[in-house]
Amino acid sequence: MNDFLHDLVNNLSKSWSRVGALFRALFLNRLRNVDVAFIREQLNKQEQILFYSMAAFDQRHSLDVAYTLRDLLGKRSKVRPDKLYKAALLHDIGKARTRLLVRDRVAQVLLFTLLPPLANYLADRGSERTGYWRRILYFYKHHPKISAALAKSVSADSETLYLIEQHHAPFTSGEPKELTLLREADELN
């Protein structure tokens, strides 16, 4: 299989699992008492305000990332879970800076899957105030940085900010294991 086909099949299978996660987050997003208690336990008051500023499905997704981390961690004693849980709950708060409808999210995933060079070109020329396509692609690509800036405004610690900012960065050997875990949990949700 040539490289183009290989990348396309790889991207489509990743995209399919993202679409599944999107549907779960859209239709099974009601917060339960146990979720609210978990959020209170992990986030201070200002961080909670940021968390609740997200759309319901982003709240659900972020909680599910934190719960997946809890499962992945199991008995790994060397990883401190508190920073990871905080990073999981806040990693996508940058998306709250724009109002994204379901069709926008589907368009983001499809464009980055099928036409990555064009999607990247437009995303890098976008901002919160540019036209539709550049704006939604900008948020898709750059939300980790925006999320980290927002988290910094309520003074999350530097390790948590690093995890938030790097959560879509490609894997590098030698990266903190917390980042690898966060990326893995994010991709599963």
Sign of CA dihedral 165, 171, 175, 180: positive
Q: Which CB atom, from 73 or from 166, has the smaller least distance to Fe ion? A: 166
Q: Near Fe ion by CB under 5 A, which window of 19-27, 34-42, 85-93, 114-122? A: 85-93
**Residue 58 or 73: which CB sits closer to Fe ion?**
58
User: HSE (CB half, 13 Å, CA atoms) of 67?
Assistant: 11
In sequence order, which ranges of the chain are alpha helices (DSSP H)? 3-27, 33-42, 45-52, 56-73, 81-90, 102-114, 116-124, 132-153, 158-165, 177-187
Of 1-9, 32-40, 75-83, 87-95, which segment contacts Fe ion by CB under 5 A? 87-95
CB of 65 to Fe ion, least distance (A): 6
User: How many whole angstroms from its chain centre is CA 79?
Assistant: 20
92 binds Fe ion (CB under 5 A): yes
> Closest CB to Fe ion among 3 and 111?
111
CB of 185 to Fe ion, least distance (A): 9
CA distances from 143 to 24, 98, 105, 148, 166 (A): 21, 10, 13, 8, 10
How many of the other CB atoms lie within 10 Å of CB of 145?
14
Q: For Fe ion, which stretch binds (CB under 5 A), given 12-20, 66-74, 89-97, 129-137? A: 89-97
| Position 58 contacts Fe ion (CB under 5 A) | no
By CB under 5 A, is residue 186 in contact with Fe ion?
yes
**Residue number, 92 or 104, with CB nearest to Fe ion:** 92
Selected range binding Fe ion among 70-78, 100-108, 126-134, 178-186, rule: CB under 5 A? 178-186
Rounded least distance, CB 75 to Fe ion, Å: 25
Best CA proximity match to 181, nearest among 91, 109, 99: 91
Which residues of this protein are in contact with Fe ion, per CB under 5 A? 92, 186
